[in-house]
Chain A
Amino acid sequence: MIPPKFAYRRAGSAEEAVSLLAEYGDEAKILAGGHSLLPLMKLRLAQPEFLIDIGRVHELSYIRGEADHIAVGALTRYHDLEHSELLAAELPLLAHASGKVGDPQVRHRGTIGGSIAHGESASDVPAVVLALDGTLVVSGPSGVREIPSSEFFLGPFETVLEPDELLTEIRLPRPASPGWSFQKLTSRAIDWAIVAVAVQGSSVGLVNMGSTPLRATATERALADGASITDAAARAAEGTSPFADRNASPEYRKHLARVLVRRGLEEAAGRAG
């Protein structure tokens, strides 16, 4: 299988990538690790005329501890997130969940920014960023803007990113509560999650429970109101409308959300000590 023809452009810097995007507009796609985009192109489900490769923009690959948050460059690979000592100490949820994405080969290429910008609701890391109350930093022709992750995802493969904007950084506040958990149920180990759940303290992110990554808001409210974990988890599927596919019916997904949220909250509580 061969991707349709396109013209390849390599950006040397984030700035250059933004100016190439401005030049080619809608006809262009950013190529990071390529592990979401190239398979789609080979299946001819995506046919951009230009690919702007940011793979060499090393300035976008970093994990840094800032005063009140952890800053992760958009081009940071899953492999680097998985093995980061800083994340292991400060945001183990992100390190652990990154290690569950795809397979080792995919993690050697796939990037956090690519996954978030792709807007796939079955993808693990966007829901983790959501659960961590992350902020997405985006560069465009008119400068830099910061978007709360809760406002970033619009629908299947749809985000608030404009065609001429580049996701450059993910800012993750240091969590108030140390307890965390990542629960993922798949058919095969390599498959996308049927449902996955990311828990940090009493924040809960849901993977594949709708057209975007979600927060389990009813559960979070119940916890805030003092409900038990069991009772709060029973509300995990409220307000969600998951898809039916070959792996699962919506009813099953809702059931899994309740089970995995309960397990996640219990594990997080155990870790918090």
Chain B
Amino acid sequence: MNVTITVNGEKTSHEVEDRTLLVHHLRDVVGLTATNVGCDTSTCGACTVLVNGESVKSCTVLAAQVDGDEVQTLEGLAGENGELDPMQSAFREHHALQCGFCTPGMVMAATSLLRENPHPTEEEVRAALKGNLCRCTGYHNIVQAIMSAAESAEGAR
């Protein structure tokens, strides 16, 4: 079937097999490989992208289901000259990534969280990350980074 998806602001249109999962569509057809597959059971969150601005696990969504929708991946966050967006900067400043495999999903989940709850408590941040697993960082610096991104957004306002 044909699916037309606006990915990171650019309209894409492709013929795909009906069973194509969104994550494979993004990686193998659209050619954006930042989004990773970590578990297959919508547990680990490595495949998190934004669909119409909300975090979803792209390994558990068919490309066909988001036909006509807007999808944003990690590749769509930085500015035109490659400058990091506030969440990306906060992750770097706080050493919130080690191997980097969970990072694309983690950053997108965090982005979605702050859109819905701009001033989360630490407990709220931790609860919101329960579907994003990381084996390297112990989550400590990820939580710090998100709290700090929320604060800097506050300061900028």
Contacts and interface: CB of A to CB of B under 8 A. Distances in A.
A102 B60 CA distance: 13
Contacts of A10: 64
Contacts of B147: none
Contacts of A106: 42, 57, 131
Contacts of B45: 103, 105
B75 interface: no
A67 interface: no
Output the residue of A5, A43, A108 with the most chain B CB within 10 A. A108
Nearest to A99: B127
A7 B48 contact: no
Nearest to B52: A108
Given A103-B45, A104-B109, A106-B42, A31 B65 contact: yes
Interface in A188-217: 188-190
A190 B131 contact: yes
B97 interface: no
B1 interface: yes
B19 A1 contact: no
A8 B42 contact: no
Interface stretch (A32-40, A118-126, A152-160, A164-172): A32-40
A189 B64 CA distance: 31
Contact of B64 (A8, A43, A102, A108): A8
A65 interface: no
A45 B116 CA distance: 35
A190 B45 CA distance: 12
Contacts of A2: 19, 21
B113 interface: yes
Interface centre among B19, B61, B132 (most CB of A within 10 A): B19
A85 to B, nearest CB: 15
Contacts of A8: 1, 18-19, 62, 64
A6 interface: yes
Contacts of B122: none
A148 interface: no
Contacts of B70: none
Nearest to A10: B64
A10 B55 CA distance: 23
A190 B130 contact: yes
Interface in B20-67: 21, 40-43, 45, 48, 51, 54-57, 59-62, 64-65
A262 interface: no
Residue in A1, A38, A102, A188 whose Cβ sees the most chain B Cβ within 10 Å: A38
B72 interface: no
Contacts of A39: 40-42, 60
B42 A1 contact: no
Given A8-B1, A108-B55, A102 B131 contact: yes
B112 interface: yes
A188 B109 CA distance: 19
Contact of B41 (A4, A42, A108, A109): A42
Nearest to B48: A105
B6 to A, nearest CB: 16
Contacts of A53: 62, 64-65
Given A3-B19, A103-B132, 6 more contacts: A5-B19, A8-B19, A38-B62, A105-B45, A105-B55, A189-B130
The 7 closest A-B pairs by CB, nearest first: A103-B131, A1-B40, A8-B18, A189-B130, A190-B130, A108-B54, A105-B57
Interface of B: 1, 17-19, 21, 40-43, 45, 48, 51, 54-57, 59-62, 64-65, 109, 112-113, 116, 127-128, 130-132
22 contacts: A2-B21, A5-B17, A6-B19, A8-B1, A8-B62, A31-B62, A34-B62, A38-B60, A39-B40, A39-B60, A43-B40, A43-B41, A51-B18, A55-B65, A102-B131, A103-B128, A103-B131, A103-B132, A104-B112, A104-B116, A108-B56, A108-B112
